[in-house]
Chain A
């Protein structure tokens, strides 16, 4: 019912073009590098716990770094999971459809659902970040981290990379649906 990984997934088998191959490789690289944040996060949590118990001083910075890293991880992970087609799908009906029909669903879904959602977040996050930058917003907590606009920008960056990988997928779907017959 849910996508079972690895078994023939028509979306992943769409023909590639030069642009999509380049983008997908980039997105996968970004995702793989970003994945190390979990190890870093783990280290910082353990360090913070140790410091709290051994030196009896917990640090606000450390707690803030933790959610900074976690936000970086899941937001840049969005595009990675998209390119790997790991986002959850309900497959009961889909797996009985032809690759053509599935490509049409992918096309309409992308145009009328996914892209509008990305645009909403992208457009709305620009003033959100600009305001933070203009007011030089810093953490409210004593000893908190500066440059709040920087971490807020990660939301925008995450969605822009996602947008890039969506355009890559779209180029493959369009090629598959419209250009294949003529070649």
Chain B
């Protein structure tokens, strides 16, 4: 093992250790880049070791930052964030809740199905787990508990559906992944669409079957109204607005009418109009959405800049060659190596957010996967599902954490843990399906443009 390899491993270990200090992740990454440049120079100059980093090399971080600035595709990111935040404020979710509840009132588990469907519709818009989970919890949890739903079912549904947001396109995570792997954003969006819907479908199916088998867990409310034509029309109108927006955004990318950036800008404009029509838009809301967009965009890009510096120095130390060697050297078949990478990602997802994993780990492992002859779009979607699953997994899943933050104190965390377990199994089932049936991912991008 060369001096560079040792330093690479130390740099990796330092990152994992230091983020637990609670100091912001972005600055830990950027700071370690400087610290390990200094260590590398000392190792070369004072100890005559073959390490090839220098200050000149590390100042390349400015060129790399310029590549981030000078990047038209990434403009889509703040626009999708704006769109999601605006849709949250547009009153759409409340209206959907109101109508769906009446539509599914007579079905066992109808409330949970309602939450799942709203979650899937909104999943397509936000892509920020915290926001999705909080919105769904505030909207649906009190109602489900009031109607005698088993807390496990209620909380599990919210957590599971809330995490779908990072997978179902248009998702900001997919934009970032596509940028790092230099693949078209549109391909990745289209590739993730069916897997997202399959997972959503599994969730709804599970809720229906579970509620049918356990009538006490999800009782039918006594006061439900029969479904009539007026209600169906009202539901259709309520669904049409957000669904139309999503279809317009994805459709224009699918048919090559608009670039993802244009689609994001127009989608954000559409969300603005929806809020206006629902009489939710005034200057104060607009200002808050703009400021919140700055805040979210800035923390993502702070990590982006820090991770850029970190990856630059890690590469200078030979870290990417080291990882490659380690992965190729695993005593498995190629498929086994992919599974090992996914498992490792799943573990990292316990304590790292998708931003760091996407920016640092994904570019390290994807060349290996490509070299083994696998399709990168397929792999990236699997990678995304893996991350999403790890946000759901006790004891430290983000979704659980966010839900705990907004639930009334009388739901013990153990209940939430028990609630998410069936959904984790469904996630794993979904993951296996995508793994075995590549066409779930690859068919749609193939047909596009």
Q: Are A109 and B23 in contact (CB under 8 A)?
A: yes
In whole angstroms, how far apart are the Cα atoms of A38 and B396 in the complex?
A: 34
Q: Are B75 and A42 in contact (CB under 8 A)?
A: no
Residue from the list B27, B30, B66, B74 in contact with A70, Cβ < 8 A? B74
Q: Are A112 and B35 in contact (CB under 8 A)?
A: yes
Stretch at the interface among A13-21, A92-100, A172-180: A92-100
Q: Are A45 and B265 in contact (CB under 8 A)?
A: yes
In whole angstroms, how far apart are the Cα atoms of A34 and B19 in the complex?
A: 30
Q: Are B31 and A75 in contact (CB under 8 A)?
A: no
Residues of B with C-beta under 8 A to A49: 258, 262, 265-266
Q: Are A35 and B290 in contact (CB under 8 A)?
A: yes
In whole angstroms, how far apart are the Cα atoms of A36 and B295 in the complex?
A: 12
Q: Are A41 and B75 in contact (CB under 8 A)?
A: yes
Given contacts A45-B79, A105-B23, A117-B306, contact A124 B62 (CB under 8 A): yes
Does A91 belong to the interface (CB within 8 Å)? yes
B368 to chain A, nearest CB (A): 27
Does B255 belong to the interface (CB within 8 Å)? no
Stretch at the interface among B117-125, B187-195, B230-238, B296-304: B296-304
B348-373, CB under 8 A of A: which get 1 and which 0?
Answer: 00010101000000000000000000
Interface size on A, residues (CB 8 A): 63
B48-78, CB under 8 A of A: which get 1 and which 0?
Answer: 0000000000110111011001111011001
Residues of B with C-beta under 8 A to A41: 75, 78-79, 265
User: For chain A, what secondary structure do more than half of its interface residues adopt (helix, strand, loop), or is it mixed?
Assistant: helix
Chain A positions 65-81 with a Cβ under 8 Å from a chain B Cβ: 66-67, 70-71, 73-75, 77-78, 80-81
Interface centre among B22, B35, B301, B353 (most CB of A within 10 A): B22
Residue from the list A34, A117, A124 in contact with B31, Cβ < 8 A? A117
Q: Are B26 and A87 in contact (CB under 8 A)?
A: yes
Q: Are A90 and B19 in contact (CB under 8 A)?
A: yes
Q: Are B28 and A109 in contact (CB under 8 A)?
A: yes
A34 to chain B, nearest CB (A): 7
In whole angstroms, how far apart are the Cα atoms of A73 and B398 in the complex?
A: 27
A150 to chain B, nearest CB (A): 12
Residue from the list B31, B61, B72 in contact with A112, Cβ < 8 A? B31
Does A134 belong to the interface (CB within 8 Å)? no
Residues of A with C-beta under 8 A to B61: 120-121, 124
Select from chain A the residue with minimum beta-carbon distance to B21: A105
Q: Are B294 and A73 in contact (CB under 8 A)?
A: yes
Select from chain A the residue with minimum beta-carbon distance to B71: A67
A144 to chain B, nearest CB (A): 11
Q: Are B299 and A38 in contact (CB under 8 A)?
A: no
Does A55 belong to the interface (CB within 8 Å)? no
Does B82 belong to the interface (CB within 8 Å)? yes
Residue from the list B62, B306, B353, B402 in contact with A125, Cβ < 8 A? B62
Chain B positions 11-48 with a Cβ under 8 Å from a chain A Cβ: 18-28, 30-35
Given contacts A105-B21, A105-B22, A113-B27, contact A155 B302 (CB under 8 A): no
Residues of B with C-beta under 8 A to A81: 294-295, 298-299, 302
Does B401 belong to the interface (CB within 8 Å)? yes
Residue from the list A7, A67, A80 in contact with B70, Cβ < 8 A? A67
Residues of B with C-beta under 8 A to A38: 78-79, 82, 290, 293-294
Residues of B with C-beta under 8 A to A117: 27, 30-31, 33-34, 306, 309
Given contacts A81-B302, A88-B303, A105-B22, contact A116 B34 (CB under 8 A): yes
B392 to chain A, nearest CB (A): 13
B194 to chain A, nearest CB (A): 27
Does B286 belong to the interface (CB within 8 Å)? yes
Interface centre among A42, A84, A93 (most CB of B within 10 A): A42
In whole angstroms, how far apart are the Cα atoms of A77 and B290 in the complex?
A: 11
Chain B positions 229-270 with a Cβ under 8 Å from a chain A Cβ: 258, 261-262, 264-266, 268-269
Q: Are A2 and B398 in contact (CB under 8 A)?
A: yes
In whole angstroms, how far apart are the Cα atoms of A93 and B301 in the complex?
A: 25
Residues of A with C-beta under 8 A to B130: 2
B304 to chain A, nearest CB (A): 8
Chain A positions 91-131 with a Cβ under 8 Å from a chain B Cβ: 91-95, 97, 102, 105-106, 109-110, 112-114, 116-117, 119-121, 123-125, 128
Give chain B's interface residues, CB within 8 Å of chain A.
Answer: 18-28, 30-35, 58-59, 61-63, 65-66, 69-72, 74-75, 78-79, 82, 130, 258, 261-262, 264-266, 268-269, 272, 286-287, 290-291, 293-299, 301-303, 305-306, 309, 351, 353, 355, 396, 398, 401-402, 405
Nearest first, the 10 A-B pairs at minimum CB distance are A113-B31, A94-B22, A45-B265, A77-B298, A117-B30, A109-B23, A124-B59, A87-B24, A81-B298, A71-B69
Give chain A's interface residues, CB within 8 Å of chain B.
Answer: 1-2, 4, 7, 31-32, 34-36, 38-39, 41-42, 44-46, 48-49, 63, 66-67, 70-71, 73-75, 77-78, 80-81, 84, 86-95, 97, 102, 105-106, 109-110, 112-114, 116-117, 119-121, 123-125, 128, 151-152, 154-155
Besides A32-B287, A89-B25, 5 more A-B contacts (Cβ < 8 Å) are: A2-B401, A34-B294, A45-B264, A70-B75, A92-B20
- Enumerate 22 A-B pairs (CB-CB under 8 Å) in ascending A order: A1-B351, A32-B291, A35-B294, A36-B290, A38-B79, A66-B72, A67-B69, A70-B75, A71-B70, A73-B78, A87-B27, A88-B299, A90-B25, A97-B22, A106-B23, A113-B35, A116-B31, A117-B30, A117-B31, A120-B59, A121-B65, A155-B69
